[in-house]
Chain A
Amino acid sequence: MSARPVPIRDGLFSVEVAESGTGRPTLYLHGELLPPTWQPWMDGFATDRRLIAPQHPGFGRSTGLEHLDDLLDLVVYYLDVLDVLDLDAFDLIGESFGGMLAAEIAAFAPRRVRRLALIAPIGLWIDGVPTPDVFGLPASELHQLAWSDPSSQAARGFAPDLGDDAERFRATIERTRSLMAAGKFVWPIADKGLRKRLHRITAPTLLLWGDRDQVVQPAYGRLFQGKIRGSELVTVANAGHFPLLEQPPEAVAALRSFFDR
Chain B
Amino acid sequence: MRFHWFHLMPYQDLPPDFSERYHSVWVDVPSRLFDPVACHRMYHEYLDELEAADRLGFDGICVNEHHQNAYGMMPSPNLMASTLARRTSHAAIVVMGNSIALYNPPTRVAEEFAMLDVLSGGRLVAGFPVGTSMDSNYCYGQTPATLRDKYDEAHDLILQAWTRPEPFAFNGKYTQLRYVNIWPRPYQKPHPPIWVPGGGSIETWEWVARRNYVYSYLSYSGYKRGKRLMDGYWDTVDRLGIDHNPYRAGFAQVVVVADSDNQAEADYWEHVQYFYNKCLHVYPGFADAPGYRTMRTLEAQLPSLSGSTPAPARQAATWRDLVDGGAVVAGSPATVRDQLREVIKTLHVGHLMVLIQIGNMPREKALRSTELFAREVLPALRGMWSEWPDHWYPSGAQAVTP
Contacts and interface: CB of A to CB of B under 8 A. Distances in A.
Contact of B138 (A136, A138, A176, A179): A136
B290 A176 contact: yes
Pick from B138, B145, B295 the residue with the most CB of A within 10 Å.
B145
Interface stretch (A84-92, A100-108, A182-190, A227-235): A182-190
A169 B290 contact: no
Interface residues of A, number: 24
B167 interface: no
Given A183-B143, A187-B143, A187-B144, A176 B291 contact: yes
A180 interface: yes
Interface stretch (B82-90, B99-107, B299-307): B299-307
Interface residues of B, number: 23
A252 interface: no
Contacts of A175: 290
Given A138-B284, A173-B298, A188-B141, A183 B289 contact: yes
A37 B381 CA distance: 59
Interface of B is mostly: helix
A96 to B, nearest CB: 15
Interface string A101-144: 00000000000000000000000000000000101111001000
B285 interface: yes
A61 B316 CA distance: 42
A184 B143 contact: yes
A137 B285 contact: yes
Interface in A175-219: 175-181, 183-184, 187-188
Interface of A is mostly: helix
Given A69-B173, A184-B146, A187-B144, A136 B286 contact: yes
A176 B295 contact: yes
A135 B289 CA distance: 7
A183 B291 contact: yes
Contacts of A172: 302
A165 interface: yes
A176 B285 contact: no
Interface string B298-340: 1100110010000000000000000000000000000000000
Nearest to B134: A136
A185 B355 CA distance: 39
B299 A181 contact: no
Interface in A148-188: 165, 168-169, 172-173, 175-181, 183-184, 187-188
A5 to B, nearest CB: 19
Contacts of B146: 69, 184
Interface in B109-132: none
A177 B144 CA distance: 11
B173 A136 contact: no
Nearest to A141: B285
Contacts of A184: 143, 145-146, 291
Given A69-B173, A177-B295, A187 B302 contact: no
Interface string B261-289: 00000000000000000000001111001
Pick from B291, B295, B298 the residue with the most CB of A within 10 Å.
B291
B289 A136 contact: yes
A33 to B, nearest CB: 11
8 contacts: A136-B138, A173-B299, A177-B290, A183-B291, A187-B143, A187-B145, A188-B138, A188-B143
Given A183-B143, A184-B146, A187-B137, 12 more contacts: A69-B146, A135-B144, A135-B290, A138-B284, A141-B285, A169-B306, A172-B302, A176-B291, A180-B295, A184-B145, A187-B144, A188-B141
